[in-house]
Structure 1
């Protein structure tokens, strides 16, 4: 047993700190499922539908896919988050990176979510106005032309 020497010289057992986890749940529990995605093209728009959980373990693969989809100038991308069950700060970072890449290349990124929890997370991180949000995929696809405000889905 490891002992920790107290300031007054008395030894006491060393107890490691509890592990702190910062997660942004979109569903009730984090089940550890690996994310998957489906991808399709509608007109000039790429629709990426994310399934499962996006966290620090799954972030590299998603980041690589989003980097490929946002590499071209003027990319038009819709990311459907409705089937996703969990996202942590790493997943939020990936979405922010994709947004920055799209904007730097004069493209467009739309997120589809009905999750009040995800919208609350965006509000608490001051990212509400950073994304164009839609409640339904059909709404996101119907909106053509220059980027619209994030209030189009009634945030």
Structure 2
């Protein structure tokens, strides 16, 4: 695991772990955060065959703006032939993911070890 660089935003830390770029979202992921995060997310997901883990464990609030970020990231990663995983343990965020169907296409994992060890997540499915 590489040492964490300084945060790009108060809502995002980026690090590399086992060949994956880990995007650790933090705090309230709402419309204001989404405006700040979208260009950062786009920069990471435009690379050829990106390997991404989005970690929501440090998120306190998550609304439809966060859902748009997740679906945008998934779409961009798959368009570039990459893999994407999601880590989430917060009960309310998990509920939002399930109700909206996002959990169907981007199944949340309980921890980093599970996400990094998941085979065949090119589609976002297990």
- Does the alignment reach a TM-score above 0.5? yes
CA distance in 2, matches of 1:141, 1:151: 14
Q: Deviations over 1:94-149 (max 9, x none)?
A: 11111110111111111111122222212221222110321011211222x42178
| Count of equivalent residues | 118
Q: Is the 8 A contact 1:133 1:150 kept in 2?
A: no
Aligned residue among 113, 120, 124 for 1:146 = 120
Aligned equivalent of 1:134, options 106, 109, 112: 109
Equivalent positions of 1:5-154 (< 5 A) are 35-143=10-118, 145-147=119-121
Question: Unmatched 5+ residue regions in structure 1?
Answer: 1-33
As a proportion of its length, which structure holds more helix?
A: 2
What's the TM-score once normalised by structure 2's chain length?
0.82
- Structure 2: 5+ residue runs without aligned partners? 1-8
Any idea what SS the aligned residue of 2:96 has? helix
Match of residue 4 from structure 2: none
Structure of higher CA gyration radius: 1
Q: Alpha-carbon deviation of 1:150?
A: 6.9
- Mapped to 1, the partners of 2:24 and 2:15 lie a distance apart of 9
TM-score (norm 1): 0.68
Computed over aligned residues only, the root mean square deviation of the Cα atoms, in angstroms, reads 2.1
Superimposed CA distance per residue, residues 72-96 of structure 1 (whole angstroms, 9 cap, x where no aligned partner): 1210000110011011111111111
The question of whether the paired residues in 2 share the 8 Å contact of 1:113 and 1:133 is answered with yes
Name the SS for the 1:83 alignment partner.
Answer: strand
